[in-house]
Structure 1
Amino acid sequence: MFHKYHAVAWLAMSAATLPHLAHAQDGRVARKEVGPDGQPTLIQFSAEGRLAARAVDGALVIRQQLALGTDDQFKLARTETDQLGFSHQKFEQYYKGVKVEHATYTAHSRGGQIETLSGDFEKIGAVSVTPSLSADAALARALSFVGAKKYMWQDAREEAGLKAQENDPTASYKPQGELVLVRDARQNAENAPLVLAWKFNVYAQQPVSRAYLYVDAHSGEVVLKDDIIKHSTRSAKGTRSTNATASTATFATAYSGTRSLADETATGGYHLREYTRGLGIETYNCKKSNSYTSATDFIDADNNWTSAEYNNANFDNVAGDAHFGAQSTYDYWKGVFGRNSYDNAGAKIKSYVHYDDTPGDGVGYENAYWNGSVMTYGDGASTFKPLTALDVCGHEIGHAVCEKTANLTYSNESGAMNEGLSDIWGASVEKYTVDKYALTGKSTYLIGEEIMKAGGALRSMSSPNTYSQPAYYKGSYWYTGTSDNGGVHTNSGVLNYWYYLISAGKTGTNEKGASFAVTGIGLTDAAKITFRMESVYMTASSTYANARTYSIQAATDLFGAASTQAQSVTNAWAAVGIGAAYSGGGTTTPPPTTVTYCSSKGTSQSYEYIDLVQLGSINRTSGADGGYYNGTALSTTVAAGSSQTMTLSAGFTGSTYTEYWGIYVDWNQNGTFESAERMDYGSVAGTAGNLTSTWTVPTTAKSGTTRLRVVMSDNSATTACGSYSYGETEDYSITVTGGTIAAPAPATLAGPAKSGLSAEAVLSLFPNPASSLLTLSLSSNAELTKVEVLDARGAAVSAARYQGNGQLDVSGLAGGLYLLRATDGQRTYVQRFVKQ
């Protein structure tokens, strides 16, 4: 199979340049969790440790914490930012230059400091990386293992279609071998030995299968099969017309009633293709064949796709379900997570209905699957109706999401969670769409209930035992054999039940006789925690124990360590037999009883100082206070979601100067001021007059009393911590009512003008979020003389290009949260924006 690589420089790993970060005994590591192999799966730094663990030193911090040897290397795969203000540097492990399959480690940072490390590190002894078996010989062993009648690269039509699709004359389905180190999965043990293997992407056409096959580079044995094609059940193409225009169809679907669907009008009529979502959604007719390249469009003359026309012997009405399902799944990921298609880069979603793996045998295909590129739906036979129901669509595209995030290996526990996550997304997409369109006949926690000919469902998330799935880890119905990739469609029941418990809540007794009480947090919060677990923390080899650790950390990131959500997540794992129940902090890192904040102080007030801070009942005028004033005894109360206006003023001993103002609020009450908690930082030309800053309290800011910090400095590089030359810092208290934690809304800081600038000059950004072009507009109509973009670590990003005239090209940025800093020559403006 063809591969695409990006040239990435190897990271130097000299620990001599890194401040020492000792292990837990010196207090710099607050928490460490290890796996069965004794290697850390999560390392959380204390406040002291974070000060030394700089985000720019991510690779070095990992090297030191994992005690890497000289043969171990980590290669930066990608860096992502999120809307909480986190930056995630994801590294892949190599040993003597050979990739260690499924071994990744991530540095999670905020405000330029690493807060946690997580992942799977393989401690490797003496392993040869020189193969004794050639790639060609290994491929022959792999093909013998598959035993297919025909492979995709043997079909000239499919090969030509691939070359056209990729616009690459060298593209081919024929596998190319890659040397890797991988665990021998035949032993079905977490501590199975690592072996040198050839990795192949083998795509068979008859019978259909597609998997990564790992062939021992010495013995020639297949040591792991990682399926790329993933089914809803246990196993029982086109280009846009140049003259096409967008339109809206009315389609009588098989499972979701008559729906309005976006499609296009082109030569011959109306086609099930639309381009308002990402790079498009397209639905094709395989006409009971196993060929994608010979598939054709569904075409309707008047764009009224009626039941009389399409509810026929061929079940053509299910084309509308596939199209509606893809559109609804896209809308769910966009609406709930701001994600642009399954890869967050607008990937086209192509669906093929009426697929038959063995054409002409008179038996329909009893499955649906994601093949690594497209969606494929069979018409069913004795067991199933056509497999295009809404939750099946959400399930299969969920596999695509997993492939682009955690990429969980499709075997044993990681494969079971891969399946469980797809069930979770199928249920969540279904509920989201039911609520949006008032659909009937669907059950959130039943999977595949609409496609069963004999009634019932494939699986029940609320009662896994009903369909012979386990509701308890290694309990009743837990599968220990080797079929179905180690029982991925069976053992997924544990994750499904966990999700049901945190979503809906339940009190009861599990099968081991232990009582449990789980508070339901609703599908929205449950989904946010689950997706953060999947996309931020999970690795390809994650186990159920890892899922517990990572979901608790995700809930802590989103809602706080002692939040209802974190407690619910912890208690649900205890209910399904993994770990202990919440005990007031024993299973997570509790907030300290006394929070210690970093110091901040101006070294000189010879020229300027803060002389007014007013917010609600805080109203203090003053002279110079020696660089720092502790006003935490002064407090005001604000409501989550409310808009607040502060009044500030600088005092000068003589001439006035341009000052840089920073307003920080510790919304999550963790004792640090992250970049997402900087409500404002802007400069105002020299004035002794009053300034105003307007901002919004996050709707989910943690309730209780927290720290407000105001920093005024003559230096634009001044942050919330440390000493600086001229200016002053003042601290106060804010009591928040309602909510838990979230990133704050952008703010504006306005002041009296100089050189004709308006006293209320504001920088606006739109659209926000942006996908390609961000327009910057100053209310004063002044020209911006400099524009720069910073990532969540505070480092400048070169991929964004300012084109002048208020136009900033952000198409080259990865998706996530960024900081924009712009100046008109006299004042600096800072705003946040999200790249889709």
Structure 2
Amino acid sequence: MRKQYSAAALLLLGTLASTTAQAQDASRIQAKVVGADNQPELVQFNAAGKASYKASEAAQVLRQQLGLTSDDQLRPARTELDQLGFTHQKFSQYYKGVRVEHADYNVHAKGGAIESISGDFEKIAGLNTTPALNEATALSRALAKVGARKYMWQDPAEEAGLKQQENDQAATYLPKGELVIVRDRRISADNAPLVLAWKFNVYAQQPVSRAYIYIDARTGKVVLQDNIIKHVAATGSFATKYSGTVSSATETATGGYRLRELTRGLGIETYNARKGNSYTTAVDFIDADNSWTEYNNANFDNAALDAHWGAQSTYDYFKNVHARNSYNNAGAKIKSYVHFDDTPGDGVGFENAYWNGSVMTYGDGASRFDPLTSLDVAAHEIGHAVCSSTANLTYANESGALNEGFSDIWGACVEYYKAPTKATWLIGEDIDKVRPSLRSMSNPNAEGQPDTYKGTSWAPTSTAPSNANDQGGVHTNSGVLNHWFYILSVGKAGTNDIGSAYSVTGIGIDAAAKIAYRTESVYLTASSNYAAARTYSIQSATDLYGAGSAQVTAVTNAWYAVGVGAAAGGTTPPPTGTPTYCTSKGTSQAYEWIDLVNLGTINRTSAKDAGYYNGTALSTSIAAGSSQTIRFSAAFTSTAYTENWKIYIDYNKNGLFTDAGELVVSGSSASAATLSGTFTVPTTARTGATRLRVILSDNAATTSCNTYSYGETEDYTVNITGGAAIAGGTYSLTGGDSMPLGNELARGLEVYPNPATDAVRLVLPGNAEATSVVLTDVRGVRIAGATYSNGTLNISGLAKGMYTLSVSDGQKVFHQRFVKQ
């Protein structure tokens, strides 16, 4: 029976709003990006004052912006809250009650106000939703397409294993048909017609495959195959085969210890498929003393140690770096099966590794590959699971290339995170016996991939995707996304295949990964292409680092470098050489300024410096690996306001302060006394002169690249000795009445925009409700001419000038200043 939805749970479409309403709506739009189908992919709104939309108005916004009719519905799918405080409402499109496959739309809000909407909406009119073909006939057509010798539901042991795994006695691999609306990919890759289709999840055992098969519900033709098992391009303290001796969690068992553990989510488990193709008959690897040193044998059992450690490492990376709890963000168990063979007994090893939609599967390799359990391959495949739980990019043509590319990105990131001495920018270098690697992110052409959109080695996407053409070149055209990420991380200058000269300053792999993760997990939808990836990565960089930031510029220029879109400002970025640092300056020093900076031989006391002081002629030497103490203080005209201190060192000398560990001191204090911060210089910091930046600002949101309202920035030079490249550091803030790093900033009041004209939004820690809001002017006189409601303070009636807010959450009072323009 089809699930029924109440009126409250549906976003039912109405007719277009009146001309007056449209004019009012248009005044709220800051920017709009329209796709090739003339439908909006991204709409940004004014998020403050009278022009803002409330998050509760999502239905109205979607109806107006997408021009919904009475046949269209957008049904709520899920709501997520990210680390930036954004709430993302996810909606799935339906037409006359039938799911429109791969069409999803998202509403992004912060502080109760909608900031943007994004996604893919299909404009449909007059489509017949009554099938001419019944489910059974359609399934027979789907099975004829797959043509397997044996299917999973025909294996009683696998069926029993699924019931146990799902804890559901009704669970079965037997495909159940679902009516959907999908594009007929037999016609062309672009602008294919929408058809009513039966959708089946078909899992074959011999030969192994798993895919969503779509059968036209009127003609019985196969219109799309979306592979669930994604191949690694026709592939796929432990004494590991590929990563040396590592530490990895295990579990006690009869006879010793086994490759299982329960400390990460619902667990990490690794099994021995014993060169068979059955998951249910797999067994545990057992070691008597938990010192797994005897597994380097002719059977390559030590490859299982790589798989187990790889799964744990990938879990740790997503949890510690992106706050994601396993691939589904709900702690899902990660199960890996090693020594898998799709055709047991044929004497040929299985040269593949894949995520089958539920578990990890690794072959032992043959002529091309060694066992396919290397760290980057494990992270790549689990990356597919992350994608299926986020953007769910369709595995064909450009969306499929993005799917593969993001998995390569996570392979590189996890390898850099856990094994930085490995070749970060090569994929599969540990397992490939014939080539230097399976793919190269730094030089895609070396392995037959394009480094430019539709450039050299680009695989055609105009024909219907199939296994014969690698689903429209998904493993080939992913090179463009790979190279974009490489350029964004480390920088590059040159001329691409379409004749565009470029020069990009890298922002470091950590910042690039944050942008890539937000792009995939927040903005991309199933049918996204390269143009959409560019739009949404720029938006992600804006969310994370601010409009006009060095990161936004780098993202834009990296896309230009690989042939997607224009460079920042519409021109070729300037050539690079000696690092040019971004501007950081306080607009006013009427109330506070930096009066002391002391690190080693740098010891400067000063009066006001007009918002910025270039002290790079002053320098001191600091040794890689050493612990350092920096002292600093603020001067105040009268009242000692709470001020925010941020101190950066450009350890990798790339002209940015956004790489891991480069924010060496951060915290806040309302004291004029001398404060101190301690930090450890990374042992891998680059030797030589680099920039030290000290920022004092009244605004906690101030970053390394800002022109902010009140305070000062001072730059100095530090000479690093005995170093090489970048790594992280430890740091803390002590002194006066300040608190350790993390406490004070985590407890701060956010006030934005600042300066403001009509309204400011107030966000308390933990999104707590404000119980009182008091506004005073520079004289300390209480002002009654502003009203506060739903997180927004209306200041349209105030005179221009500076004001102080005192906001209470019922337990603590927070103070912050802002400027009315």
TM-score range, shorter chain: 0.7 to 0.9
Tell me whether 1:526 sits opposite 2:524 in the alignment.
no
**Cα drift, residue 25 of structure 1:** 9.4
- Contact persistence 1:431–1:444 (CA under 8 A): yes
Tell me whether 1:291 sits opposite 2:278 in the alignment.
yes
- Contact persistence 1:330–1:340 (CA under 8 A): yes
Using the alignment, how far apart are the partners of 1:51 and 1:353 within structure 2? 57
Using the alignment, how far apart are the partners of 2:803 and 2:439 within structure 1? 51
**Cα drift, residue 158 of structure 1:** 0.2
Using the alignment, how far apart are the partners of 1:465 and 1:571 within structure 2? 20
Q: Determine which of 548, 551, 560 is the counterpart of 2:537.
A: 551
Counterpart of 1:656 in structure 2 is: none
Within a 5 Å distance, the mapping from 1:752-771 to structure 2 comes to none
Counterpart of 1:9 in structure 2 is: 9
Tell me whether 1:489 sits opposite 2:475 in the alignment.
yes
Using the alignment, how far apart are the partners of 2:91 and 2:366 within structure 1? 45
Using the alignment, how far apart are the partners of 1:5 and 1:343 within structure 2? 26
Within a 5 Å distance, the mapping from 1:660-675 to structure 2 comes to 664-666=750-752, 673-674=760-761
Q: Determine which of 309, 320, 323 is the counterpart of 2:308.
A: 323
- Contact persistence 1:290–1:356 (CA under 8 A): yes
Q: Determine which of 348, 354, 363 is the counterpart of 1:363.
A: 348
Greater Cα shift, 635-644 or 111-120: 635-644
Greater Cα shift, 474-483 or 636-645: 636-645
Greater Cα shift, 566-575 or 47-56: 47-56
Q: Determine which of 255, 275, 287 is the counterpart of 1:300.
A: 287
What amino acid maps onto 1:160 in structure 2?
Answer: A
**Cα drift, residue 52 of structure 1:** 3.9
Tell me whether 1:453 sits opposite 2:453 in the alignment.
no
Per the alignment, do residues 552 and 715 of structure 1 end up closer, same or farther by CA in structure 2, a change over 3 Å counting? closer
Counterpart of 1:243 in structure 2 is: none
Within a 5 Å distance, the mapping from 1:213-612 to structure 2 comes to 213-234=213-234, 250-306=237-293, 309-435=294-420, 440=421, 442-480=422-460, 482=465, 483-583=469-569
**Cα drift, residue 720 of structure 1:** 3.9
**Cα drift, residue 448 of structure 1:** 0.3
Highest relative contact order (Cα 8 Å, sep 6+), 1 or 2?
1
- Contact persistence 1:111–1:673 (CA under 8 A): no
Three-state SS of the structure 2 residue aligned to 1:220 is: coil
**Cα drift, residue 456 of structure 1:** 0.7
Q: Give a deviation string over 1:45-84, Cα, whole Å, max 9, x none.
A: 1357973421111122111111111111110111111111
* TM-score, normalised via structure 1 length: 0.72
Counterpart of 1:804 in structure 2 is: none
Per the alignment, do residues 711 and 356 of structure 1 end up closer, same or farther by CA in structure 2, a change over 3 Å counting? farther
- Contact persistence 2:444–2:450 (CA under 8 A): yes
Counterpart of 2:178 in structure 1 is: 178
Q: Give a deviation string over 1:384-406, Cα, whole Å, max 9, x none.
A: 00000000011000000000000
Using the alignment, how far apart are the partners of 1:261 and 1:5 within structure 2? 47
**Cα drift, residue 638 of structure 1:** 8.2
Counterpart of 1:204 in structure 2 is: 204
Per the alignment, do residues 363 and 64 of structure 1 end up closer, same or farther by CA in structure 2, a change over 3 Å counting? same
Using the alignment, how far apart are the partners of 2:748 and 2:259 within structure 1? 52
Within a 5 Å distance, the mapping from 1:185-196 to structure 2 comes to 185-196=185-196
Per the alignment, do residues 161 and 674 of structure 1 end up closer, same or farther by CA in structure 2, a change over 3 Å counting? farther
Q: Give a deviation string over 1:27-48, Cα, whole Å, max 9, x none.
A: 3212111111111111111357
**Cα drift, residue 251 of structure 1:** 1.5
What amino acid maps onto 1:444 in structure 2?
Answer: T
Using the alignment, how far apart are the partners of 1:709 and 1:107 within structure 2? 40
Q: Determine which of 778, 789, 794 is the counterpart of 1:722.
A: 794
Using the alignment, how far apart are the partners of 2:23 and 2:736 within structure 1? 44
Counterpart of 1:739 in structure 2 is: none
**Cα drift, residue 830 of structure 1:** 9.8
Q: Give a deviation string over 1:629-662, Cα, whole Å, max 9, x none.
A: xxx9994458999799999xxxxxxxxxxxxx99
Q: Any gaps of 5 or more consecutive residues in structure 1?
A: 237-249, 596-611, 620-631, 648-660, 691-707, 735-746, 751-820, 832-836
Identity of aligned residues (%): 57
Using the alignment, how far apart are the partners of 1:724 and 1:475 within structure 2? 53
- Contact persistence 1:20–1:52 (CA under 8 A): no
Three-state SS of the structure 1 residue aligned to 2:22 is: coil
Q: Give a deviation string over 1:749-795, Cα, whole Å, max 9, x none.
A: 89xxxxxxxxxxxxxxxxxxxxxxxxxxxxxxxxxxxxxxxxxxxxx
Counterpart of 1:794 in structure 2 is: none
**Cα drift, residue 152 of structure 1:** 0.2
* TM-score, normalised via structure 2 length: 0.73
Per the alignment, do residues 273 and 334 of structure 1 end up closer, same or farther by CA in structure 2, a change over 3 Å counting? same
**Cα drift, residue 268 of structure 1:** 2.1
**Cα drift, residue 663 of structure 1:** 5.1
**Cα drift, residue 9 of structure 1:** 2.6
- Contact persistence 1:50–1:113 (CA under 8 A): no
Using the alignment, how far apart are the partners of 1:686 and 1:29 within structure 2? 29
Per the alignment, do residues 635 and 578 of structure 1 end up closer, same or farther by CA in structure 2, a change over 3 Å counting? closer
Counterpart of 2:81 in structure 1 is: 81
- Contact persistence 1:253–1:317 (CA under 8 A): yes
What amino acid maps onto 2:503 in structure 1?
Answer: A
**Cα drift, residue 343 of structure 1:** 1.0
Three-state SS of the structure 1 residue aligned to 2:477 is: coil
Using the alignment, how far apart are the partners of 1:376 and 1:179 within structure 2? 30
- Contact persistence 2:186–2:224 (CA under 8 A): yes
Three-state SS of the structure 2 residue aligned to 1:583 is: helix
**Cα drift, residue 326 of structure 1:** 0.6
Three-state SS of the structure 2 residue aligned to 1:491 is: helix
Per the alignment, do residues 14 and 333 of structure 1 end up closer, same or farther by CA in structure 2, a change over 3 Å counting? same
**Cα drift, residue 670 of structure 1:** 8.2
Using the alignment, how far apart are the partners of 1:403 and 1:282 within structure 2? 20
Using the alignment, how far apart are the partners of 1:268 and 1:22 within structure 2? 72
Q: Give a deviation string over 1:430-483, Cα, whole Å, max 9, x none.
A: 001014xxxx4x201010001011241001001111111111111111111541
**Cα drift, residue 167 of structure 1:** 1.1
**Cα drift, residue 112 of structure 1:** 1.2
Using the alignment, how far apart are the partners of 2:156 and 2:506 within structure 1? 54
- Contact persistence 1:198–1:215 (CA under 8 A): yes
Per the alignment, do residues 231 and 636 of structure 1 end up closer, same or farther by CA in structure 2, a change over 3 Å counting? same
**Cα drift, residue 537 of structure 1:** 0.5
Using the alignment, how far apart are the partners of 1:123 and 1:109 within structure 2? 25
Three-state SS of the structure 2 residue aligned to 1:573 is: helix
Using the alignment, how far apart are the partners of 1:680 and 1:75 within structure 2? 26
Q: Give a deviation string over 1:177-215, Cα, whole Å, max 9, x none.
A: 000000011123321100000000000000000000000
**Cα drift, residue 156 of structure 1:** 0.2
- Contact persistence 1:159–1:173 (CA under 8 A): yes
Tell me whether 1:615 sits opposite 2:602 in the alignment.
no
Three-state SS of the structure 1 residue aligned to 2:99 is: strand
Counterpart of 1:654 in structure 2 is: none
Greater Cα shift, 368-377 or 633-642: 633-642
Per the alignment, do residues 662 and 331 of structure 1 end up closer, same or farther by CA in structure 2, a change over 3 Å counting? closer
Per the alignment, do residues 385 and 16 of structure 1 end up closer, same or farther by CA in structure 2, a change over 3 Å counting? closer
Per the alignment, do residues 127 and 353 of structure 1 end up closer, same or farther by CA in structure 2, a change over 3 Å counting? same
**Cα drift, residue 260 of structure 1:** 1.4
Q: Give a deviation string over 1:707-761, Cα, whole Å, max 9, x none.
A: x999999999674413799xx9996389xxxxxxxxxxxx9989xxxxxxxxxxx
Counterpart of 2:116 in structure 1 is: 116
**Matched pairs, number:** 657
- Contact persistence 1:709–1:732 (CA under 8 A): no
What amino acid maps onto 2:423 in structure 1?
Answer: S
Three-state SS of the structure 2 residue aligned to 1:369 is: strand
What amino acid maps onto 1:295 in structure 2?
Answer: A
